[in-house]
Structure 1
Amino acid sequence: MSNRFKIVIPARNGSTRLPGKPLIELAGKPMIQHVVERALASTAAEVVVATDDQRIVAACAGLGVEAVMTSVEHCSGSDRIAEAIGWLGWDDDTIVVNLQGDEPCMPAALIDQVAANLAELTGTGMATLAYPIRDSSHLFDPHVVKVVTDAAGFALYFSRAPIPWHRDEFLGSRQFVLPSSMVFLRHIGLYAYRAGFLKRYVAWPPAPLEQAESLEQLRVLWHGERIHVGLAAEEPGQGVDTVEDLARVVKRMGVS
């Protein structure tokens, strides 16, 4: 695809579960540097880091990306990206990929894929990706977000609960096995938006479903808009939400 999309990496230093997360060192580099390198390995025309901490700005110096300061009051990465877009003056038709600052192992091919998917969908403001769940423990893990789609690949719902609930297989069962007749999808926290859509989205009030599940993408569905969910071309890397996630990334990178 042509280099027409741009990436914004929202990086907040005050994570509740893992404070200082973007600056945690992995294989001799802060996590934010690994994420920037993933972004630069894609075909994006421009990469920007949007943060609320000067230490993260300093960590990005010399990496070949612009780092912009945004408000400490933002509740989500989407809000932070929207502010950055306003400062940068990007056109409403610009496709912007939200590569979260805690995704040091995200394959560049998936960044390109989510942007390409959105570019092909006239009239759609937002796209994301999903990957088949292979392990039943992931289906019942609230830290693993699940998604169900319609026949055209548009999201019907996202949840931390196991969806869809296979009545005949799960009802009364004490040892859950993934039914072979059903594909369960893990949502990948990688988004592409049209800039104009993102500006509208962050102006909407939070939705009750969003607040209950702590999933900001549910605001889009609540307000009657659509999110396209593509099937990821390869398995995504491990994101870092918890201390346990961090340990898995450290092991993957071969760091002692």
Structure 2
Amino acid sequence: MNIKVVIPARYGSSRLPGKPLLKINGVEVVNHVVQRCIEAGVAHSDIFVASDDGRILEVIDNTKSMAIMTDSKHQSGTDRLCEVAEKEGWSEDTLVINVQGDEPMIPPDLISNLISFAGSNPQFHICTAVTSVTSLDEFNNPNVVKAILGEDGRALYFTRSASPFNRDVPGDIEMANRHIGIYSYRVSALKCFCSYEESQLEKYEKLEQLRALSRGMAIGAFVYEGNIPHGVDTMEDFEKVKELMELEK
């Protein structure tokens, strides 16, 4: 199986500009993400950092990953992935993993488990991961995206609402799953997805994956049992992650 990892790393975040370049233990956030991918067993020649800013690409160690300049007009990281796949001429059946560039503590086994799941389930156009919701606060939080799964691991829906809701036992969260923002696509599915316009449900919930479901694409998800550390969205997030990683050094 031909596998590529693409790490979209945008400089112009509205909440924390330049966050891929912030350093933890002397290493940039984006290079920590690259290292996690290597620890997942991905060859350095198959890891690509895709950015729209030369300041980010300049810090990429080309002995560990490839740096690719992409269009600054992309609306999402998925569009950036598609550009990389087209520039590199990857075959239609190449499996592309989208690993966020602001998650320096992403568990390597989350990446490797997604690769295994996607390889074993070619019936899904897109694959992703979920983890169990552990509290009612989490269940009711609209910033926590819930994934509704069918019996075969097929994702039926993604929502910010408290779902699935047990009518008879309202406080029951046994079937509630939290979506983890990591994806895999075959190049053919990636190109198809990026050719679609934003769907009404996507606009409504502000969830990009609903574009795929609205068009009939099949999304599969596995349940990840490990801990999911927080990514870096704000300076407060960065300080927390930095403290944790410095303690682990």
TM range (shorter): over 0.9
CA contact (8 A) 2:49 2:65 kept: yes
Could you tell me the TM-score, scaled by structure 1's length?
A: 0.90
Instruction: Give the 3 Å change call, closer, same or farther, for CA 17–252 of structure 1 in structure 2.
Output: same
1:121: which partner in 2?
Answer: 121
Distance 1:6 1:146, change over 3 A: same
Cα drift, residue 31 of structure 1: 0.8
Deviations 1:210-238 (A, max 9, x none): 11222111100000111001011422222
1:86-101 alignment, distance < 5 Å: 86-101=86-101
Tell me the number of residue pairs that the alignment of Structure 1 and Structure 2 aligns: 245
Shift of 1:169: 4.0
> Residue 62 of structure 1: CA displacement?
4.4
* Residue 175 of structure 1: aligned partner: none
Q: Which runs of 5+ in 2 are unaligned?
A: none
Structure 1 equivalent of residue 5 of structure 2: 7
1:19 Cα offset (Å): 1.6
Of 46-55 and 155-164, deviating more is 155-164
Q: Distance in 2 between matches of 1:84 and 1:184?
A: 35
Is the CA contact (8 Å cut-off) linking 1:118 and 1:125 kept in structure 2? no
Q: How does 1:104-143 map to 2 (within 5 A)?
A: 104-143=104-143
Secondary structure of 1:111 counterpart: helix
Decide which moves more: 218-227 or 137-146: 137-146
Question: What secondary structure does 1:79 align onto?
Answer: helix
Contact kept? 1:110, 1:233, Cα under 8 Å:
no
8 Å contact from structure 1 (residues 160, 213) kept in 2: yes
Q: Does the CA-based 8 Å contact 1:130-1:231 persist in structure 2?
A: yes
| Percent identical residues | 38
CA distance, structure 1, for counterparts of residue 47 and residue 53 of structure 2: 18
2: distance between equivalents of 1:169 and 1:244? Answer: 37
Alignment of 1:220 with 2:212, yes or no, is yes
Secondary structure at the residue paired with 2:197?
Answer: coil
Stretches of structure 1 that go unaligned for 5 or more consecutive residues are: 171-177
Q: Match of 1:203?
A: 195
What SS class does the counterpart of residue 38 from structure 1 fall into? helix
Once residues 25 and 7 of structure 1 are traced to their aligned partners in structure 2, the CA distance between those partners, rounded to angstroms, is 22
Q: CA deviation at 1:164?
A: 1.4
- Residue 161 of structure 2 corresponds to 161
What is the aligned-residue RMSD (CA, Å)? 1.7
Query: Equivalents in 2 of 1:91, 1:62: separation in Å?
Result: 23
**Secondary structure of 2:57's aligned partner:** helix
Change (3 A) 1:194 1:208: same
Q: Could you tell me how far 1:118 is from its partner in structure 2?
A: 1.0
Identify the residue that residue 241 of structure 2 maps to in structure 1: 249
Partner secondary structure for residue 246 of structure 2: coil
Q: What's the TM-score once normalised by structure 2's chain length?
A: 0.92
Displacement of 1:203 in angstroms is 0.4
Deviations along 1:89-141, one digit per CA (max 9) or x if unpaired, are: 11110011000111111111111111111111133221000011113222222
- The corresponding residue for 1:179 is 172
